[in-house]
């Protein structure tokens, strides 16, 4: 169990969703 990797994965998912919704070309 690696809390750092879990946090990094969650952060990556949040960033991906943010970019998806913020991208006017999608």
Distance separating alpha carbons of residues 17 and 1, to the nearest angstrom: 25
3-state secondary structure of 25: coil
Among 8-12, 16-20, 22-26, which stretch is predicted with the lowest mean pLDDT? 22-26
pTM exceeds 0.75:
no
**Residue carrying the six token digits 């006017």:** 24
pLDDT at residue 20 greater than cutoff 70: yes
H or E element that contains 1: none
What's the rounded mean pLDDT across residues 10-26?
88
CA 25-21-18 angle, 5° bins = 125
């Amino acid at each position: 169990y690696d809390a750092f990797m879990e946090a990094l994965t969650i952060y990556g998912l949040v960033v991906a969703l943010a970019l998806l919704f913020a991208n006017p070309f999608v």
